Structure 1
Amino acid sequence: MRSAGALALTLVLAGAGVTAASAPAAGVTVSETVTVGKATTLAVQYRGKGHGHGLSQYGARGAARSGLTYSQILAFYFPGTRLTTITHRIIRVKLSGTGTTTTVAAASGITVTGVTGYLPTTGIRRYRLIADARTGLTLQRLATAAGSTWTTVRTRLPNRSEFYRLGRVPLRLYLTDGTSTDFDGYLQAVRAPSGGVWTIDRVALDNYVAGVVPREMPASWEAQALDAQAVAARTYAVNAMATRETDYDICATASCQVYGGRTHYHADGTVAWKQDAAPATATAYRILQYGTRPALAQFDASNGGWTVYGGRPYLVAKADPYDTAARASDPYIDARTTVRVASLASHFGLAKLTSLSITSRDGHGTWKGRVLAGVVRGVNRAGAAKSIPVDGFALQDAFGLGTTWLRIVPPTP
């Protein structure tokens, strides 16, 4: 890892023509009612995928293909923030899919907290840390011989003991589905409130970013788009570190941002994916800052042509020409899907669905924008007519979409 010095002189990210709006849209009244009649399915058109806050990944691709640099892309999506360089730091990532143990492959140069020297490898296939009956951890090992079972090596190790491999060589962690992943840094076992242990990867921030970018954006995309994603991911992580939990800073799933480690292997040992270090290296230690704090650098797949106000001065609502540009190749522009009427009725607890109305939109773009409010009407299981007020998110969930920017298509008579 390269280390950086003190905070560098920063570059203010303020693009020409950036909208200064920082408040949510009040919405516009609309009158759109679709009567179900005898239809057994309803079609819905939609735009975008995600919350629409901050960076659009397809928009970043469109911008990169239009010739924008990663700093210009970030300036467009996070107006008023500035690029700055931070010092080296470690982030604690709560990994997923590890079950109730922290299990690693036996390999040369592995140490564990509380045990002197390197863990033996001859005749040993794996090591694991498990919660003991008290407040600590137990180290166990699994031999290579067929039919071997786990045996105890050491008891009463301290909570938060961790595996580390000499020379910063990655550790191979086994997951409950039979797959495994190489992770940089220290793999720490933390007793979980519900029993067992969590596995926490204490890893250098830029190594973490290298494992995030290709899980959030295809590595084949344009370099400037990938670099913008790297800065957004790093910034999001640093923001999370500022509001950290007791035992970890960030999770490794889409609930935070997806982290895939260095290399992931199928159950048969073949490589499923690898990290992409180039964007992390090209943007090393750079984050977006607003005032004196790291920005909340949110991102999603596609905003459909308009960003959405996100409760921060730099998360504004404005038209996005890059997301809708043909060169973005965005599959979420005017997409369409079909849903069974019976499924929709069941979703809202109705025996029969009679109509769906949209009464308010945010006023931005095609169809007057994203849905803010509506009404679902039908008959409940007791045979009584029922009207259910809904918002855009309720309709999004009912139709199985990733966006509230939708239009219900009237069925053909």
Structure 2
Amino acid sequence: EEVYPRPADGVWAVQGHGYGHGRGMSQWGAQGAASLGEAAHQSVAATLATILTTYYPLTEAAAVAAQPVRVLLTADTDGDTEVRSASGLTVTDGAAGTPQTLKTGPTRWRAALGTDGLLHLSSLTGSTWTPEKIGTATAFAGPLRFGGATRVRLDLPDGTSRDYRGAVQAVRLSATRVQSVAVLPLDDYLLGVVPQEAYPSWKPAALQAQAVAARSYSAYQRDHAGLRSYDICDSTSCQVFRGSTVYDASGTPAPQEDSRTTAAVTATAGQVRTYAGAIIFAEFSSSNGGWSAAGDARFPYLVARQDDWDGAAPNGVHSWGATLTAASLEARYPAVGHLLRLRVTARDSHGEWGGRVTTVVLEGVDSHGAATSVTTTGSGVAAARPLSRAYPDGLRSSWWHLSPAHDATVASWGAAPRLVRPPGQTTGSLTVTMVNAGASPWPVADLHLATSTASGSGAEQKLTGTSTTPGRFVADLTRPGATSVLPGERAAFQVPLDATGLPAGSYAASYRVQLGTAPAFGAVAAWTVALVEPTWTARPGAAPVLVAGQSSPSALLGSTVVLARSGSTTVTLSARNTSNTTWPVGSTSPVQLGTSQPRGRTSASKAGGWPTADRAAHLAAAASVAPGSTGTFALRLGGNGLPAGATHEAFEPEWGGRTWISGDLTALTVVRTDPAVARLASLELAPTASFSLVNAPTGTRTLVLRLRNLGGASWPVGSEGLQASAPSVLATSAWPSSSRPPALAANASRPGQVSVRPGEVGEWRVPVSGLHATPGTVRLSLGATSGGHAYGPAMTVTVTVVAARFTAAVVAVHPMVSVPSRGSATTSYDVKNTGNVVWVVRGTLRSTVRAGSSPSRASSWLSASRPGPLTASVTRPGATVVRPGEVGRIVVVLAGNGRTPRTTSEVFGLSWDGWRPTSLSAVLAYRVV
């Protein structure tokens, strides 16, 4: 089943094959066969026989007796039979059967019904019609036959006239109806039929095949006329016949016979096709499109078969295109009401698309909305809009396939813009590429997108003003510059949007292709457009940058800005716009750099050019800063003559003096130096104010202190000194003297530099030791000095010296080991540091033999009573010290030294550098083997 929904514009494009019913002989197929036969040098007679036996299988050639045929003249519809006077013209009353020669004076003769319901004969002389008699009779039951002359010229209601061979008779059908019927020999009739049904220029075999088919068809109709007053009609419903000459209204003749078709009729005189001894119903049509259609069971010689001849001779009806409208189907089948869809439920299964359509269901709704259904045929659909003068693009047969004349699919579309209420971006556009999926071109002059709702009053109209056709055609992407978009090609469209004045929310926007003011059609391109409130957020951009060309001592050290106390400098700050609003730039930009922490505070570092005391700069970028882009501020900072020192500043952007743009806070330290003073410093990092040291070798600590250079001279690393207020017992061997700690160790602002410039921070590292101090409290006061002159702040630390306590406890002993008599083995014992002295791994903490000497001494022992130092930290494997509370391990190598096998043990202890033995005893058992 095929379902064809009603297109949006109510128009289907039709592709089809063949012209006519397709049964029997294809006239174009016969021409194709004749052309092939001629090309193969086949005789006309042989080709003729092939054509007739192929199109009418199971039939035989035969001859028919020369009998007249009666032809209904359908163009004479005015209710009388009027002929022109001619030499020898006679009239015959069918009842009497005796011809009467008509006088030559009148110009016309007419047979018409009188008030009595009978036929009356009259003649026209000048402008007067005069009643005439046949014999003595004046009224006749008929028919009245005009004949005798070479041709009988019949006048028609439209002012034209025609010559007919034989006779023309008026047949009274009733008291009110008269028919004009031509009566002539069958082959004379064919002289006018064959040139109407076939092109006289066709091959002889094709014309002769047409003559035989037309003769057989005519004879069959004559044999089956029954009680009809005629045998056959003169229209396409039977066979086209216009007599021998047609005269237009001015009398200009147009011959209807041709010598070539006359030769074909003469060459086949009397020939017909028969089946089972009877003349066949020799149907034919212009073209079968490549497959003939079967007739009903009465005619077994009318079969469905593939026909390669049809189309062998080029013609415009083998395949064709047409247009079918829903309106034409509704007019032919009014019961369907408003047509919604057309369903093809059956085809004959022969050829493309499944062959000719045999059953069609038209579905719709009536005026009350109730469903309707009408069943018809493929021919019935074709008859709703057939090829004709009225419909030059009409259908030609029942072998058709539908597609929308105008259809569109969406190839791709751009994302919907995110619109922002003022001061954000309220305008944007939608873009979409549509494919012409129909059968007809789209003229670009009429091409646009229309709102998908019928009234155009949907939500999308709010975004496009009052226009219901807002989407403009941009380009034919397949053939740029073309004036029409052909089927299969891609077209780009754009819909401008403007959300000015609209509240925040989601707006549906959906559009279809439209040509002019015709209904929109095809797939819907749909978006949801978000209109949101403006947001105010930012993120830090690049790190602050010192603007080039600033006078000394201006510098930028990370987030520290250095300047003279009476000078100024400019730093560039960057901010990345993470909001949904574009930032304007320039001196009138609403985006400014405001002071922060707290917001809106008055800054001590305000310099010239600030808009206000709490607004440092306008956004200074080359172009507006769109969301995702980065803008800059030129921040000018001044010392303002304040004393040398440091001030902490913070800045963040804001909009319009009322809305802070959160997320981009820049904190700076502004350092003011005094170039007029050589040595000046402030404390940046003080050493720990108080701590304790053990009066033992490991009771050491390094004090770290930092000073910021606020003077006008640089401090050389390695020589800028510190001075203790008095000689100190905490001094180590690293001090040049007991009152002089080590000099400046490093530039903390720029590590690796050999000097500390004004504004930078220097670092001193002062080692102290409690080894030589007696337990108690010791104070150490330090200050910077240069050339014997102290400067900067004094720093005092308080040190509590604690007496060393060297104690330990055994926590684990290695199980018994076997020691080879001539070898060695390793054992160990773990000890916990229960004192307050740090043990150094592999330092001066060593194991001892409590007996003074040992028979197990190995070559690795330090002496006969000292096997070796502390080996490792158990608590923190890999650590270099064992702190109070932690556990360390002593590894002891035992040698057999040639002793006889035995099981024994030895006691080991600990000593500190040989001068502080402990009472610890670790018993290590072993077996000499």
Question: Normalising by structure 2, what TM-score?
Answer: 0.39
* Residue matched to 1:17: none
Matched letter for residue 300 of structure 2 = P
Shift of 1:387: 4.3
Matched letter for residue 264 of structure 2 = P
- Aligned pairs for 1:266-285 within 5 A: 266-276=248-258, 277-285=262-270
* Residue matched to 1:324: 311
* CA distance in structure 2 between the aligned counterparts of 1:64 and 1:116, rounded to whole angstroms: 46
Task: Encode CA deviations 1:73-111: one digit per residue, 9 max, x unaligned.
Answer: 111110111111222211122222223222111121112
Tell me if 1:176 matches 2:154: no
Tell me if 1:62 matches 2:32: yes
Shift of 1:302: 1.1
Greater Cα shift, 76-85 or 396-405: 396-405
Q: Does the 8 Å contact 1:135/1:159 carry over to 2? A: no
- Aligned pairs for 1:326-405 within 5 A: 328-349=313-334, 350=336, 352-400=338-386, 401-405=395-399
Structure 2 vs 1, CA of residues 95 and 245 (structure 1 numbering), >3 Å: closer, same or farther?
Answer: farther
Greater Cα shift, 388-397 or 179-188: 388-397
Structure with the largest fraction of helix: 1
Shift of 1:179: 1.0
* Residue matched to 2:92: 113
Unaligned runs of 5+ in 1: 1-30
* Residue matched to 1:307: 292
Q: Does the 8 Å contact 2:288/2:318 carry over to 1? A: no
- Aligned pairs for 1:235-274 within 5 A: 235-246=216-227, 247-274=229-256
Shift of 1:364: 0.6
Tell me if 1:79 matches 2:57: yes
Tell me if 1:104 matches 2:89: no
Structure 2 vs 1, CA of residues 129 and 387 (structure 1 numbering), >3 Å: closer, same or farther?
Answer: closer
Structure 2 vs 1, CA of residues 149 and 406 (structure 1 numbering), >3 Å: closer, same or farther?
Answer: same
Structure 2 vs 1, CA of residues 354 and 219 (structure 1 numbering), >3 Å: closer, same or farther?
Answer: same
- Identity, % of aligned positions: 39
Partner of 1:113, secondary structure, is strand
Q: Does the 8 Å contact 1:39/1:341 carry over to 2? A: no
Q: Does the 8 Å contact 1:100/1:198 carry over to 2? A: yes
Task: Encode CA deviations 1:243-289: one digit per residue, 9 max, x unaligned.
Answer: 12433222222222122111111111112332232221111111111
* CA distance in structure 2 between the aligned counterparts of 1:396 and 1:116, rounded to whole angstroms: 48
Structure 2 vs 1, CA of residues 384 and 91 (structure 1 numbering), >3 Å: closer, same or farther?
Answer: same
Partner of 2:306, secondary structure, is coil
Matched letter for residue 61 of structure 2 = L
Tell me if 1:408 matches 2:387: no
* CA distance in structure 2 between the aligned counterparts of 1:243 and 1:135, rounded to whole angstroms: 29
* Residue matched to 1:204: 185
- Aligned pairs for 1:32-51 within 5 A: 32-36=2-6, 38-51=8-21
Q: Does the 8 Å contact 1:108/1:118 carry over to 2? A: no
Greater Cα shift, 371-380 or 299-308: 371-380
Matched length: 375
Structure with the largest fraction of strand: 2
Partner of 1:121, secondary structure, is coil
* Residue matched to 1:8: none
Partner of 1:52, secondary structure, is coil
Shift of 1:393: 2.9
Task: Encode CA deviations 1:102-157: one digit per residue, 9 max, x unaligned.
Answer: 211112111222688632223x21111223444643221111x3xx1211122134
Task: Encode CA deviations 1:25-80: one digit per residue, 9 max, x unaligned.
Answer: xxxxxx32233353442111111111111011111111111117222211111011
Q: Does the 8 Å contact 1:210/1:278 carry over to 2? A: no
Larger Rg: 2
Q: Does the 8 Å contact 1:113/1:157 carry over to 2? A: no
Shift of 1:165: 2.1
Shift of 1:164: 1.7
Shift of 1:391: 3.1
RMSD, matched Cα: 2.2
Shift of 1:300: 0.9
- Aligned pairs for 1:116-135 within 5 A: 118-122=101-105, 124-134=106-116
Matched letter for residue 82 of structure 2 = T
Task: Encode CA deviations 1:184-236: one digit per residue, 9 max, x unaligned.
Answer: 11222221226242222221110011111112122222221111111111101
* Residue matched to 2:545: none
Higher RCO structure, 1 or 2 (CA under 8 Å, sep 6+): 1
Structure 2 vs 1, CA of residues 38 and 63 (structure 1 numbering), >3 Å: closer, same or farther?
Answer: same
Tell me if 1:93 matches 2:71: yes
Matched letter for residue 281 of structure 1 = T
Q: Does the 8 Å contact 1:264/1:272 carry over to 2? A: yes
Tell me if 1:221 matches 2:180: no
